[in-house]
Amino acid sequence: MANGSTSHQKVGWFELFYDLVIVAAVGYGSHVLLADPTWSMAWQIAFSMLIMLVLWLLTSLNNNLFPGDHPWRRILTLIQMLALVIAALSTGGGEGLPDQMGFIALSVAFASVAVMYAMADRSHASDGRDVRLIAYSSALASAVLLIGGFLPHGTGAAETAKVVGVLTFGVGCAAVPLLGPFIGRLCALGQVDEEHLGERVGQLVIIVLGESFISLVSALSGKPEIPNPVYLVLTFVVVFAIWTMYFSSVVAAGVPQRAGWLRIWLLGHWGLMFGAVAAATGFSALASVPFDDEGTSASWTTAPLLVVMASLAILTWVGNRAVTRLVVLHLLTGLVLLVLAIISVTATAGGVNWEVAVGSLVVILDAVISARWVRPYASLTPTAVEETPQRGTDPSPS
């Protein structure tokens, strides 16, 4: 396998094209959550994003470890993109495509990954053991999900539990080997191109944050006026605040080189992206109704922003391998958001949702303080450039 510690490959154009499927999946998930803003639907969207992240990571690592613009990978990735879109359209309970079709689509997606790693094993020099592990585990996941597609799918609690169990087991067949022995061995051998992986994850975060504006435009389209200009402005400022905090501290720290830190780093991005999607959906709903509305606005709390700040705290902690003042600041912001979420659920349930507006201002204040501490906008002098560590290095002691 390629050794990422000695060379760096550029992100390919086809990798960016592959990310288009993320736009489709995230966009549809936002639409479903907007139509049914409940805790159960939020958990379903969160799990769907985890599945999407597992498939995205499997595909991105294949590009990371086996560079090259191969026709077989293009074809298999296109098949996976189509399957992911079909699987996304089956999200939403009684709406959309039937669950059986979603299971079969996911089975095809994991089968494409299995073939992708089998082809890489044949066309690249490697010991083959690690590659075959992912090929076999992805094939097993595909088989389990295919069986799930032919199981009876009902609306009762027993049927729902069975469907969730098969889905969890099937995805787990691929996710556990990926995040367990595979990541551990790659890190031990120094075979991950940290800079390439960091760029890919950063691009994925940008895509998810960009979905905020797509949701907002979709929610306000066709209206003769903007019902709630406050949340229209807050959407832009809060998304910019999250972008600032992520790219000024998390990205600057680079990708962890040790397996344990890398696993936490990847899971932290799952929380960040889900929280951002849920927050964007909530802001879109709130911008569509007057500020004193007691209907739709009462359905949203600061919980999504709390998930975002908790994820940023975890990612900042992992990046610095220490509880820095930025970590403490993000945790304090999360504590305020937690209090506001509790207030909105208990004390002011059904009333005006001022808590989200206050929580947004707290997140913006966090971003302002973080920017003053990190100063990402400061121009670099020649001396500062020499002293700035390169991305992808691990600042933690050996």
- 150 and 211, same domain (yes or no): no
- Indicate if the pLDDT at residue 148 is higher than 80: yes
Closest residue by Cα to residue 173 from 148, 136, 141, 145 = 141
Residue, of 122 and 230, whose pLDDT is higher: 230
Question: Do residues 75 and 151 both lie within one domain?
Answer: yes
| 172 and 203 assigned to the same domain | no
For residues 373 and 326, the answer to whether their CB atoms sit within 8 Å is yes
Contact between 349 and 300 under an 8 Å Cβ cutoff? The reply is no
Count up the domains in the chain and report the number.
Answer: 2
Predicted confidence (pLDDT) at residue 15 exceeds the cutoff of 90: no
Taking residues 110-118, report their average pLDDT: 95
Cβ distance 291 to 228 under 8 Å? yes
Q: What is the pLDDT of residues 202-239, one digit of tens each?
A: 989 998 888 778 878 877 787 888 888 888 888 899 99
Q: How many helices (H) does the chain have, and how many strands (E)?
A: 16, 0
What is the model's pLDDT at position 181?
A: 93
Kindly tell me if the per-residue pLDDT of 386 is higher than 70: no
Of residues 65 and 345, more confidence is placed in 65
Residues spanned by the domain of 65: 13-192
Q: What is the 3-state secondary structure (H, E, C) of 168-214?
A: HHHHHHHHHHHHHHHHHHHHHHCCCCHHHHHHHHHHHHHHHHHHHHH
Dist. CA 251–CA 199, nearest whole Å: 9
Residue 2 has pLDDT above 70, yes or no: no
Q: Is the domain of 124 the same as that of 218?
A: no
State residue 93's pLDDT score.
57
Last residue of a domain, one of 192, 220, 246: 192
Residue 398 to residue 390: CA distance in whole angstroms: 17
Q: With beta carbons less than 8 A apart as the criterion, state whether 235 and 219 touch.
A: no
User: What's the mean pLDDT in 76-104?
Assistant: 83
Q: How far apart are alpha carbons 56 and 51 in whole angstroms?
A: 9
Per-residue model confidence (pLDDT) at position 221 = 80
Q: Specify if 4 maps to a domain.
A: no
pLDDT of residue 171: 93
- Domain shared by 79 and 150, yes or no: yes
Whether 398 is in a domain gets the answer: no
pLDDT value, residue 347: 65
Burial class of 50 by CB neighbour count within 10 A (0 to 12, 13 to 18, 19+): middle
| pLDDT tens-place string over residues 342-380 | 887 776 555 557 888 899 999 999 999 999 998 766 654
The contacts of residue 126 (CB under 8 Å, 6+ apart) are 1, 120
| Whole-angstrom distance, CA of residue 292 vs CA of residue 208 | 29
Residue 218 lies in a domain: yes
**Residue 396: how many other CB atoms lie within 10 Å:** 15
Find where tokens 């489709």 sit: 24
Element holding 283 (H helix, E strand): helix 259-287
pLDDT of 398 > 50? The answer is: no
CA dihedral in degrees (43, 90, 273, 19; nearest 10)?
Answer: 170
Measured CA distances, 359 to 82, 300, 309, 374 (Å): 38, 12, 11, 22
Inside any domain, residue 147: yes
> Do residue 186 and residue 328 come from a single domain?
no
| Same domain, yes or no: 45 and 175 | yes
Query: At residue 292, what are phi and psi to the nearest 5 degrees?
Result: -95, 15
- Tell me what the mean pLDDT of segment 94-118 comes to: 87
In a domain, 240, yes or no: yes
The answer to whether residue 311 sits within a structural domain is yes
Q: What's this model's pTM, rounded to 2 decimal places?
A: 0.85
Residues comprising the chain, all counted: 398
**CB 211, CB 277: distance < 8 Å:** yes
Each residue's pLDDT tens digit, 259-304: 999 999 999 999 999 999 888 888 888 888 776 665 544 457 899 9
Q: Are residues 173 and 251 in the same domain?
A: no
Nearest Cα to Cα of residue 100 among 146, 49, 165: 146
> What's the confidence (pLDDT) of residue 46?
87
Query: What's the pLDDT band for 94 if we cut at 50, 70, 90?
Result: low
Higher pLDDT, 159 or 234: 234
The percent of residues in the chain predicted with pLDDT above 90, rounded, is 37
